[in-house]
Chains A and B, each alone.
Chain A
Amino acid sequence: MALLIDLFGYLSVILHGLTIVAQSMALGGILFLIFLARPFADALGTVGDDILRRTRRIAGWAAVALIVCEAATIALQGAVLIGTVDLSFADVMSADFAIAGQIKILAAALLVVLAFGFPNTPRPVLAGVVLLELAAATLTTHANARLEDRVPLLIVEGLHQLGAAIWIGGIPSFIMALGRCHDGMAWRKVGKRFSQMSTVGVACILVSGATMTYLYVGDLPGFYGTAYGVMVGAKMAMFAGLLCLGAMNYLLVERLRTNPATPITRLKRFAEVEIGIGFTLFFAAASLTSVAPAIDLSTDRVTWNEIVERNTPQMPVLTSPDHAALALPALQQKLDQEAEAQKKNPPPAFVPGSGDLPPRNLDDIRWSEYNHHWAGLFVLLMGVLALANQAKLARPVTKHWPLVLLGLAVFLFLRSDPEVWPLGEEGFWESFRDVEVVQHRMFVALTVIFGLFEWRVRVGGLAKTKAALVFPIMTALGGALLLTHQHAIANVKDQLLIELTHTPLALASVALGWSRWLEIRLDPPGNKIAGWIWPACFIFIGFLLLSYREI
């Protein structure tokens, strides 16, 4: 059970991210139906009917996903409570959060029924269900647990979610509608209306975001000195990126007015990237629920001086401490010796899930820094080769840049688990009994497969196929998950300083993935510009890893 509560922290963030995605797509789909698909159905002719049907289907299936996510959330939290506090099932289901969750499920079920079964539901009824869902969702946000400013916070939390639903949640339906239309006038109609809708969505987000930042973060030191503030910063960065894409799409829609023959490929491609970054933003939002608001942390904040000091570049450490010197092996050795003296079985030095943190000493920190620095060299090399390849320099050599990933894989294979073969005493095959080793091995295998795959894309003629999209999707996904992974415990400064370096890494990874996506999917000249961005992201990540420090 103790293990469950450890995993629970991470699972609940992932689950929460998925819930936000499903919720905004369900509500966004319904709002798209209310404000675009229905009003324009007649004007768009047969295409209009098609768009109506498909919008309902998107909203309906998203609502199904929302039911699943919400049920899983209640089940997960309930399981932890039943297992740790001796509560009955009924006790758990009557908790405030569980009641709000049940209302959410009910409203979502209503949306499923209306979307699939009742195509002529009056628009005010649909809007009513949307509001019910929003209200219930708002009761499971931080705002509801606040002691002060609870009502204004509940209102802006609701507004925030509404804005996200209108804008990001509506984009899948928008792309679908663009794909169904076939002439400039239809594109213009759809594009123009969606522009108006997203402007309203952006306004909701701006107003509510600013209010929440003011009430939850408070001041500048709260912004850079706490995990909460750093995550809000990451959200702002992605929001700014989305605004740029949205603004460029707005200009394109305006151009359709004067010239209905304007190609709309860019509109669709940018919208795809908006979905990707938007969903990443949702995961960042989900991870905010696992950290305490900055305003509650008046002590133990990281100061500006500490940030500057930690991030002042130093020479990378390219020599490693001996693994016997690490805290855990050293402690285990001591325990083993004591047990042997008493003729007993040695206790493990660390039990995963016990709720304790594994011991760490200075050598552990050196070990970790060394790993990061060498990984940085690999990534930097990859970036430089990719950039040279882009600049048409030494192409017979530089086009093989994905092979550098194999080197990284070998390095990780050697360094992830110092206790096992070939560095440690434990044999290669027997170590497979350890779940953690297996997971590290899987990651190494994944790196190898990924590297060979992208290499085939570059030199093996897969470039024009869907296979080319695997690399951008995987890197963007990695960045998104890295954003959700980091949650400094409220008062541990060191972890926050580490998190401060991981956030730009995650953002760079997201930018890398989506710029490569645009390079593949856009027409000239846009794809050329995008083609320079992602190698630069690689180089940036390489430097960040090289300057990574834990002390």
Chain B
Amino acid sequence: MTRSISTGRKVLGAALFLALGAPLPAFAHAILMASTPAVNGTAEGPDVSFDLRFNSRIDHKRSRLTLTLPDRSQQVLPIAEDGPEDQLTTKAALKPGAYTLRWQVLAIDGHITRGDVPFTVGGN
């Protein structure tokens, strides 16, 4: 059983276009302006520092950074509470491999958004 259309686009108003099969854009308000490591970038292990900068003031306490490890397991990274109001920072000890950092942020105005930063940790 396969479905070519995601759940989010199943609401009546746009039903004609959904039925026609136009792709669904995602929602985004708070966006990532810059990050270390960069999207699809590399980092030097084992101690990796993360720094994500957004276009909005972010509620640090109510945001979350989740790291997907090369073995597909997930790990929640603690967010430093004292960083600048538009940045999220954290650290992790990582082995070489391909990772994805998923961010979910609450902007001060109440909007929740999320996105991914795929990156690789280099090493020998």
Interface of A with B (CB < 8 Å)? 3, 5-10, 12-14, 73, 77, 80-81, 84-85, 87, 91-92, 95-98, 100-101, 139-147, 227, 289-293, 296-297, 326-329, 332, 348-350, 352-353, 355, 357-358, 360, 364, 367-368, 371-372, 375, 412, 415-416, 418-419, 426, 434-436, 439-440, 443-444, 446, 477-478, 480-482, 484-492, 494-496, 498-499, 502, 550
- Contact flag A85-B22 (CB < 8 Å), given A147-B56, A358-B5: no
Q: Is B108 engaged at the interface, CB distance under 8 Å to the other chain?
A: yes
How many Å lie between the Cα of A296 and that of B57 in the bound state?
13
Contact of B57 with A139 in the complex, beta carbons under 8 Å = no
Alpha-carbon gap, A296 to B113, bound state (A): 15
Q: Is there a chain A Cβ closer than 8 Å to B73's Cβ?
A: no
- A478 engages B13 (CB within 8 Å): yes
The answer to whether B19 touches A485 (Cβ under 8 A) is no
Nearest CB of B to A70, in Å: 11
Contact between B21 and A416, CB atoms less than 8 A apart: yes
Please judge, given known A-B contacts A84-B104, A482-B14, A485-B9, whether A498 and B23 are in contact too, CB under 8 Å. Answer: yes
- CB pair B25–A145 under 8 Å, yes or no, is no
Could you pull out 28 A-B pairs where Cβ atoms are within 8 angstroms? A9-B26, A13-B27, A77-B110, A87-B62, A97-B106, A98-B110, A101-B110, A142-B109, A289-B109, A292-B30, A292-B31, A296-B31, A328-B2, A350-B6, A352-B3, A358-B6, A372-B20, A375-B16, A412-B16, A435-B10, A436-B10, A440-B15, A440-B19, A443-B16, A446-B15, A482-B13, A489-B25, A490-B28
A76 nearest CB neighbor, chain B only: B112
- Chain A CB within 8 A of B93 CB: no
A90 to chain B, nearest CB (A): 12
Decide: A495 and B64 in contact? CB cutoff 8 A.
Answer: no
Q: Which of B10, B19, B111 has the most CB of A within 10 A?
A: B19
* Count: A-B pairs, CB below 8 Å: 220
B11 touches A368 (CB 8 A): no
The interface residues of chain B lying within 8 Å CB-to-CB of A139 are: 109
Chain A CB within 8 A of B92 CB: no
Min CB distance A325 to B, Å, is: 12
Q: Which residues of A contact B75 (CB under 8 A)?
A: none
Contact B62 A95 (CB under 8 A): yes
- List 6 A-B pairs, minimum CB-CB distance, nearest first: A481-B13, A97-B110, A9-B27, A485-B14, A145-B56, A296-B55
Are A502 and B108 in contact (CB-based, < 8 A)?
A: no
What residues of chain A lie closer than 8 Å to B22, measured between beta carbons?
Answer: 368, 372, 498, 502, 550
Q: Check A419 against B1 for contact (C-beta < 8 Å).
A: yes
Tell me the minimal C-beta distance from B53 to chain A in angstroms: 10
